[in-house]
Structure 1
Amino acid sequence: MITRRAERRLLPQLAAFVIVLAAVLYGFDPLLRGVISGHVDGQELSVAWVAPLVGMLGSIAILPLAAPHFWHHHYGKVAAFWAALLLIPFGFVHGVGPAASEVIHAAVAEYVPFVVLLFTLFTISGGVLVRGNLHGSPAVNTALLAVGALLASVIGTTGASMVLIRPLIRANDQRRCNAHVVVFFIFLVSNIGGSLTPLGDPPLFLGFLQGVDFFWTATHLAPQTGVLVAILLPLFYVLDRWFYAREGFSPKPDPSPDSPLGLSGLRNIPLLACAVAAILVSGFWKPGIEFDVYGTHLSLQAVARDVTLIVLALISLKITPTEYRERNGFDWEPIREVAKLFAGIFVTLIPALLILKAGMNGAAAPLVALVSDEAGAPRPAVYFWLTGLLSSVLDNAPTYLVFFNLAGGDAAELMTVKAKTLAAISGGAVFMGALTYIGNAPNFMVLSIARNRGVEMPSFFGYMAWSFAVLIPCFAVVTLLTLI
C-alpha cells in the first residue's frame, strides 16, 4: 500500500538515478563512443540465440505458479540472469561494441518509452477513486463491461482495469458465483477494449513508436473489435442471468451495501487528457531534430513526449491525497514487476528481432515461408493466429514486435499495401492476450486483486478452459469475416 512517506522517497530516488546516470554518460562519453559502435548482422545468428528469450518467457509462465514465494522475492534476479546469459556470450562472439549498440537501441527506442507510458497511466489512473457501490445485476455488470471496453482505448487496458475492477468486485461481492464476471472483465476491458488506439494496449504503442499513425488502429481494427464486442457482451449477459437466477433469493450477506456512485481524485482527469495530448503531439510534430545516442537516433518529439508523461505522473502523485490511493489499494509492486521483467524480455528479444529482420536470408526463413503464399504475399489469417497464440504465452508486446518485423518492419508499407496484414498482427496481439493470465500485463494485476478481494478465480488452466471455449470461436468468426 502506498504511503505519503513512500511518495516522498520516490521523487528523490528517481531524480538521483537520472542525475547519476547522466553524469556517468557525460563523463565517459568519449570512451563509450569509441567502444560502442557497429551492429550485429542477423543473417549470422542461429536460432540458438533465442534460447534465453524462451527461458525468460518460460520463467514468467511457470515460476509464479510453481514457486510463487521464490518468484515474488527474486523475479528481478531471474530477469537479470536470462539477460546476462544472452549478453555475455553475445558480446564475446559478436563483439562488445555491436552487442552494446543493439542493447542501447532496444532500451532507448523501445523499452524506455514503453515503461514510461505504463508508469504514467498506472500512476494517474491509480489516483481516480470510484466511490459507492452498485448492485451487481446482469444488466449493471454488462453496462460496466461495456464502459470499461470503451475506456480501455482512452486510458489504456492497465488504466481502465485498475479504475474499474474494484467497483465491479464490490458490486458483485454478495453473489456466490462471481468469478465469471472477472473472467469476462479480463476478456473485454484488460484486452479487447484496448484495440483502438496506441494508448489502449502496449503492442499498439510499440507500433506507434515504429511509425504507425495514431488513428490507424481505430479505423482498421474497428470491424474486428466490433464483432468481438457484439458477440461477447450479449453472451455475458445471458450467462450472467443464468448464474444470477441459480442463486435464488438467498444470496450471501452483502459486505458492501449499495450506495450512490461518485468520483474522487478528479484532478487526475485533466492529467489523463494531457497524457493523450502528449502522445498525439509526438505523432504529428516533426521538428527534424535528432540526438545520437551511441548510434541510435532519438527524435526531439520522443524525448519531449516521455519527459511530459513522467512530469504528469509526478504531478498526479503530488496533488492526489494519499487516502484515495490507499482506498484504491494502490501499490508500486505491479509496475515494478513489469519494469524489471520487460527489461529482461527486451534484452533477450534482441537476437529474435535481428533474425527476423534478416528475412529469407536468416534462420527464420521457414517461419517467413509459413506466413507467405507461393508468390511471397503475406497471409493475414496466418499472421493473426500465429501472433495471437504466441501472444497468449509470450506476452503480447514483444510478440507484436517480432511479427511486425517479420512482415517487413516498414510502417508506411504496412499501413497501406499490407494494411490487412498489420491489422491481423495488431488484432492477434491485442485480442489473444486474453487467452491466458500471462498474455497481457493487466491480466495478472486483475487476477491478484480479485483473489485478494475473495473472488474464487479459476486456476491458470481453469482460466484457459474458459478463454478457449469462449474466445476461440469468436476469433474464428473474426478470421472468416475480416481476414479471409
Structure 2
Amino acid sequence: MLKLLTAVLLLAPQAALAADLDGRTLGAAWALPFVGILLSIALFPLLAPHAWEHHQGKIAAFWAALVLVPLALLKGLPAAVGASLHVALLEYVPFILLLFALFTIAGGIRIKGNLHGSPLTNATLLLIGAGLASVIGTTGASMVMIRPVMRANDNRRYNVHVIVFFIFLVSNIGGALTPLGDPPLFLGFLRGVDFFWTTRHLLAETLFVGGVVLAVFVVLDTILYRRERDYFRPLPDPTPDNPRIQVTGGANFALIGVVIAAILFSASWKPGVTFSIGGVPIELQNAVRDIVFVAAALASLALTSPEDREANGFSWGPIAEVAKLFAGIFLCMVPVLAMLRAGLEGPFAQLVALVSNPDGSANTAAYFWLTGALSSFLDNAPTYLVFFELAGGEPRSLMTTGALTLAAISSGAVYMGANSYIGNAPNFMVYAIAKDGGVKMPSFFGYMLWSGAVLVPTFVLATFVFFRG
C-alpha cells in the first residue's frame, strides 16, 4: 500500500516538501490519507466497533504513515521529521494539553442531589450546561451535567428527547463563545484569532440558534410531560428527588480560572524570547501556557477526592482516544492545508470557487453550510482548519474585513457538529453514558432524524438572518 501510494505521488506534480509545503506543486493524492483517517473515524465505530475499540491508535498511525513515509522517501527523513515536529509542537501539543486540562478538571466537579425532571427544570439544566460549555468546554460541561440530567428524568417514560437536546445544546451549540468551548475555536486561537473574538461576533448567532432549539425543547417536553401525567401511572423513581443540590470539588473552579488566565496571559505577554526544538521555534509565552495546563490538571488530581471522580464515572479512556486519533489527523492534514493555502493556484481551486461569489467575494452561506456539513460527519476541528485556510488563513484580515466569513466558519463547525453522533467528541460520550444508564438512545440514523427535524430548519433560519452575504 505504501509503495503504491508513493508511486502515485511520484506521478503527481513534484513538491518542495518540508515543514512549510508549497501547495501549488502538490498532487491531490496527498489528501487521500486525510480522507482515509476521517472515513475510518466515521465508519469503523459503526461497521467494526470491536476492531475500532482495540486498534484505533494503530489505524490512525497507519494513515499518518501514508503521509510521512512517502514524504521521507521523496525528500528525505529530515523533511518528514521537520513536518512532524512543526505540526506537533505548534498545534497538536497545545491543542491536546488544553483538552487534557479541561477534561481532568471538569471530571473532578461533582453535582449531588436530584431534581424533578419537569419541563422547567430540564430547560434550566440545559441552559446551565450550555452556559458552562463555553467556560469548561463542551466535553467538560457534558461530563458535569449529563448525570444530573439523567437522574432528574430517570422516572419518566419519555426521556430520550432530553438527552438528544442535551447533545444539541450542551455538547455543541453552547461551546461557541470562547476558544475553551470547542476544539475548532481553540485551533483558531492558536492560529491568531483573539480570545474574545468569538464572544463578540458569535453571541447573537448563538443566542438565536440556542434559543430556537431550547424553545422547541420546552414545547416538546411540555407535551410529553403532560401526556405522561394524564395517561400513565407514575414509574418508580430509582433516584428519589432531593432538591438539596451540592457541588463538590470546588477547587476545580479555581483551576479552570487558572487555565483561562494562562490562555489570556499567553496572548498578551510577548517577551520576545524564542527557543528551538528540532528547528521549530517555540515562543516562551506559549511554553509557559502549556506547562500551566499540565500543572492545573495535576493539581486537580491531587485536590479532588477519588470518590467524586468515581461518582462522575471518570476514566482516561475518552481523552486517550482523542489524543491518538488527533495525532493522526494533524499529521494527515499537513499536505491538505498546504494545498488549501495555495487557493486558486492549488488543486482545490474548484472548492475555492464554490465558496466565492462571482465578484470574488466570500460566499458566507456556502462557508457556513460546507463547514457545517463536513463537521456533521467528520471531526469539526480539522474541518474548521480546512475552511480557515480556504478563507485565506490570515487571522488579522479574517477578524476584520473577513469577520462575517470567519463567523460563518466558526458557527458552522461548532453548531453542526450536533447533526450526528460523530460530529463532535462529546456526542458519542453522552450517547454511551446515557445508554449505559438505561436510556433507549436512538440509532445513528435515528438520531439524525432528530437533528434533521430540529437543527436543520434552525440553521436555515440562521442563514437567512446572519449569513446571506
1:251 to 234, 256, 264: 234
Alpha-carbon distance in 2 for matches of 1:37, 1:461: 42
Report how far residue 294 of structure 1 moved.
3.1
Task: Give the AA of the match of 1:455.
Answer: V
SS of the residue corresponding to residue 262 of structure 1 reads strand
* Residue 57 in structure 1 maps to residue 38 in structure 2: yes
SS at match of 1:252: coil
**Does 2:131 correspond to 1:147?**
no
Task: Please report how far the alpha carbon of residue 300 of structure 1 lies from its aligned counterpart in structure 2 after TM superposition.
Answer: 1.0
The residue matched to 1:378 in structure 2 has which SS?
coil
CA shift for structure 1 position 58: 1.0
Give distance in 2, aligned partners of 1:188 and 1:329. Answer: 21
1:302 has 2:286 as partner: yes
Query: Which of the numbers 270, 278, 290 marks the counterpart of 2:254?
Result: 270
Partner residue of 1:132 out of 113, 119, 122: 113
Secondary structure of the 2:257 match is helix
The equivalent of 2:208 in structure 1 is: 227
Per-residue deviation at 1:159? 0.8
The answer to whether residue 274 in structure 2 is matched with residue 286 in structure 1 is: no
1:379 matched residue in structure 2: 363
SS at match of 1:349: helix
Is this contact kept in 1: 2:20–2:338, CA < 8 A? Answer: no
**What's the CA shift string for 1:331-362, capped at 9, x where partnerless?**
10000000001111111111111110111111
Contact 1:40 1:99 in 2 (8 A): no
Measured in 1, the distance between the counterparts of 2:46 and 2:346 equals 36
2:309 paired residue among 325, 344, 348: 325
- What residue is the counterpart of 1:27 in the other structure? none
Deviations 1:43-91 (A, max 9, x none): 1211111111111111111111211111111111111111112221232
2:98 maps to amino acid: L
Cα deviation for residue 41 of structure 1 reads 1.9
> CA contact under 8 A between 1:39 and 1:101: conserved in structure 2?
no
- Deviation of 1:375 (Å): 2.4
Distance in 1 separating the partners of 2:389 and 2:274: 23
- Compared with structure 1, are the counterparts of its residues 296 and 377 closer, same or farther at alpha carbon in structure 2 (3 Å cutoff)? farther
Report the equivalent of 2:444: 460
Match of 1:201 in 2: 182
Under a length normalisation based on structure 2, what TM-score does the superposition of the two structures give?
0.94
Q: Which residue of 2 aligns with 1:368?
A: 352
Contact 1:37-1:295 within 8 A present in 2 as well:
no
Residues 1:203 and 1:479: Cα distance change in structure 2 (over 3 Å)? same
Q: 2: CA distance between counterparts of 1:326 and 1:80?
A: 32
Gap change, CA 1:274 and 1:470, over 3 Å in 2: same
Alignment of 1:170 with 2:170, yes or no, is no
TM-score (norm 1): 0.91
Instruction: State the SS of the aligned residue for 1:132.
Output: strand
Partner Cα separation in structure 2 for residue 203 and residue 372 of structure 1: 22
Q: How many Å apart are 1:116 and its aligned residue?
A: 0.4
Aligned to 1:351: 335
Give the Cα–Cα distance (whole angstroms) in 2 for the partners of residues 475 and 357 of structure 1: 28
Q: Closer, same or farther in 2 for the Cα pair 1:386/1:278, shift >3 Å?
A: same
Unaligned runs of 5+ in 1: 1-35
Q: Distance in 2 between matches of 1:241 and 1:295?
A: 60
Query: Mapping of 1:85-100 within 5 angstroms?
Result: 85-100=66-81
Separation of aligned partners in 2, 1:180 and 1:212 = 36
Q: Look up the equivalent residue of 1:82 and give its one-letter code.
A: W
Which consecutive residues of structure 2, in runs of 5 or more, have no partner in the other structure? 1-16
Give the distance between the partners of 1:251 and 1:106, measured in 2 at CA.
56
- Distance of 2:466 and 2:204 partners within structure 1: 8
Instruction: Judge conservation of contact 1:42–1:358 (CA < 8 Å) in 2.
Output: yes
**Aligned-pair CA distance for 1:291:** 2.1
Offset, 1:38:
5.9
- Contact kept, 8 Å, 1:61 with 1:393, in 2: the verdict is yes
Q: Distance in 2 between matches of 1:38 and 1:214?
A: 27
Alignment counterpart, residue 422 of structure 2, candidates 415, 431, 438: 438
Question: What CA RMSD, in Å, does the superposition of the two structures yield over aligned residues?
Answer: 1.3
**1:29 corresponds to which residue?**
none
Is the 8 Å Cα contact of residues 37 and 294 (structure 1) preserved in structure 2? no
Deviates most, 40-49 or 348-357: 40-49
Asked whether the 8 Å contact 1:203–1:397 carries over to 2, the reply is yes
* Partners of 1:343 and 1:194 in 2: CA distance: 23
